Structure 1
Amino acid sequence: MSSFQYNQESDPEDIDSVTLTDEDGRTLECYVENAIEGDDGTYLLLMPVDIPIVVLVWDEEDQDVEDDSEEITNAVLLEDKIEIEAIFPDAKAVLAELDLTLKLTAFTLTVVGELPPIEDDGILTLELETDGPALDSEELQFLKDFYHQDQKYSIYTPLSPLLFLAKYNLLGKVELVSPEDEEMQAILEELLFDDME
């Protein structure tokens, strides 16, 4: 289970940020975007302080296809921790060319720095598989391509904020909760709705 530490000791509603720590000991600093009281504790909507990025790995057939082509269909989101660690030095080096510093953080890779301007031809819509029959999609901004051992990788940043749902329970512990859980759907909607007001 993930562990969390508040950066200050106070009432959960007064807290500005928390540090998430994964099972590998990596940390991720997050802003507390919103908090609501529940029967069993305080629910928190968290957003990383640094800019989240994702790495896509391309099928060999698509490696030579231009980014603005409609033929790109075989990109897969890289989630394997061992492979992420293997390509990390190369990814860090190419992002440094954009004056971005790549960090190996908990739950997502992040960068520090100023992102380049968004260009229409640099936006990719990634189809995400869901439990239902429909596909969810996410728009990503292209940052950089690179190769590692003859395999093409592309680095993108999501255009929508990356949010985490967590619970600060009555025992004083904070844990991630799944937004897919039916009971959490109403809580997540309330946190998001309150955050937009």
Structure 2
Amino acid sequence: MSSFQFNQESDPEDIDSVTLTDEDGRTLECYVENAIEGDDGTYLLLMPVDIPIVVLVWDEEDQDVEDTEEITNAVLLEDKIEIEEIFPDAKAVLAELDLTLKLTAFTLTVVGELPPIEDDGILTLELETDGPALDSEELQFLKDFYHQDQKYSIYTPLSPLLFLAKYNLLGEVELVSPEDEEMQAILEELLFDDME
């Protein structure tokens, strides 16, 4: 899953970054935030080197709403084909903020300095989960744009985007699902150690 080859002789703590590769061949350079040895390999907590962004698509009824409190029907854009279609427009509007948009693996990213956070530019996105509770994520507004009369908004998450991965026995980095019960304990240990 990754083009990064792990040298078994080196200590995971000595490795600063790895490159993740998705099934489309796109790459995402990540810092290694933390690493622990497991029974079946080395587990890594990764954070993208560049700034992750998300694109929201607005329901037609909400396209002209100025007050984010009134917004009810924004959807996180995850369709790869639609992302590729709107990419040139998104790249152009972000260039106005001196940000360079990159079509990277697993998330879109930007390079550059983000504008200062403003309270009225923060949106809380409710995320559906498998359980009865909803997770929420705070996003910082960057820019709106239109593509074929459809309104899109670009945000960056205020919390760091983290990936859980492991070196397999072949020495390759592969993503693992943090939803897996077995991985929960490993993820908690990585996060706890990282905070110390």
Relative to the length of structure 2, the TM-score reads: 0.96
TM superposition shift of 1:9:
8.0
Q: Deviations over 1:115-162 (max 9, x none)?
A: 000000000000000000000000000000000000000000000000
Change (3 A) 1:168 1:184: same
Q: Deviations over 1:17-36 (max 9, x none)?
A: 00011111111000000000
Question: 2: CA distance between counterparts of 1:159 and 1:7?
Answer: 34
Change (3 A) 1:69 1:173: closer
TM superposition shift of 1:70:
1.7
Change (3 A) 1:34 1:120: same
TM superposition shift of 1:5:
4.3
Matches within 5 A, 1:12-31: 12-31=12-31
Backbone CA RMSD of aligned residues:
1.6
SS at match of 2:94: helix
Change (3 A) 1:194 1:91: same
TM superposition shift of 1:37:
0.6
Question: 2: CA distance between counterparts of 1:169 and 1:89?
Answer: 36
Q: Identical aligned pairs, as a percentage?
A: 98
Q: Deviations over 1:33-68 (max 9, x none)?
A: 0000111110000000000000000000000000x3
In the alignment of these two chains, the number of paired residues is: 196
Question: 2: CA distance between counterparts of 1:87 and 1:171?
Answer: 37
Matches within 5 A, 1:31-110: 31-66=31-66, 68-110=67-109
Please say which of residues 52-61 and 2-11 is displaced more in the overlay: 2-11
Question: 2: CA distance between counterparts of 1:53 and 1:27?
Answer: 15
Change (3 A) 1:6 1:28: farther
Q: Deviations over 1:93-126 (max 9, x none)?
A: 0000000000000000000000000000000000
SS at match of 1:6: coil
Relative to the length of structure 1, the TM-score reads: 0.95
TM superposition shift of 1:2:
5.2
Change (3 A) 1:2 1:80: farther
**Unmatched 5+ residue regions in structure 1?**
none
Contact 1:127–1:136 (Cα < 8 Å) also in 2: yes
Question: 1: CA distance between counterparts of 2:169 and 2:181?
Answer: 21
SS at match of 1:132: coil
Please say which of residues 96-105 and 1-10 is displaced more in the overlay: 1-10
Question: 1: CA distance between counterparts of 2:58 and 2:170?
Answer: 45
Contact 2:27–2:105 (Cα < 8 Å) also in 1: yes
Change (3 A) 1:65 1:107: same
